[in-house]
Copies of this chain bind each other. A is one copy, B any other.
Amino acid sequence: MHFYFAPQILQYDGTQLASLWAYRSFGLLGDSIVAFRGPCCIQFEHMVDLEDVRNQQPIYGNDMLHFIVEHFDHDLEKTILRQRLFITVVKEVLEEKGYKLVRSGDDLYYQERKLSISIATATPVSTIIHTALNISAENTPVPAIGLIELGWPAEEVAKLAEKIGLSYIKEMEGIQRARCKVKGVR
């Protein structure tokens, strides 16, 4: 599984949530986690979370740390399990710095202010996750907090991305090993 931090600023508009985006954009073949920094602005027609569409809930952020995770299998429920573990990994990496966050499903909160957004869905050949953390919480449509206000230096966002990406890959590898060391039972 590949990790890549794209150094350029990219606007996330929902079109990145598509099969083989990491391969088409960066030549990464196979399961991957790509991180990048940039604003987030998703038109309703690109929203895949129909709960947000039903609630006419805009999704917007000035400056976020984005992750696109792609797994080449077909079980959406499994990838939602992975998505929740990904959020857990993010929480644990930030906790090492002493931040006390609360996870609720696929969301992270600091004192009831939202730090993250996340969605998982299926493509014709894979399943795919988008998770983003506010770097700044300016102009967000709900009460939110950003990494900077939390105390994480803006210039170390790439380092954070890498820590998270590598921890997630290690988690996935551990799961694969756990799957291969047990015998069945009656």
Contacts and interface: CB of A to CB of B under 8 A. Distances in A.
A179 to B, nearest CB: 5
Nearest to A181: B51
Interface in A10-41: 17-20, 23-24, 27, 29-31
Q: Is the interface of A mostly helix, strand, loop or mixed?
A: mixed
Contacts of A105: 171, 174, 178
Contact of A125 (B81, B106, B122): B122
A159 interface: no
A123 to B, nearest CB: 6
Interface of A: 17-20, 23-24, 27, 29-31, 48-51, 53-54, 72, 74-78, 80-85, 88, 92, 103, 105-106, 119-126, 128, 171, 174-186
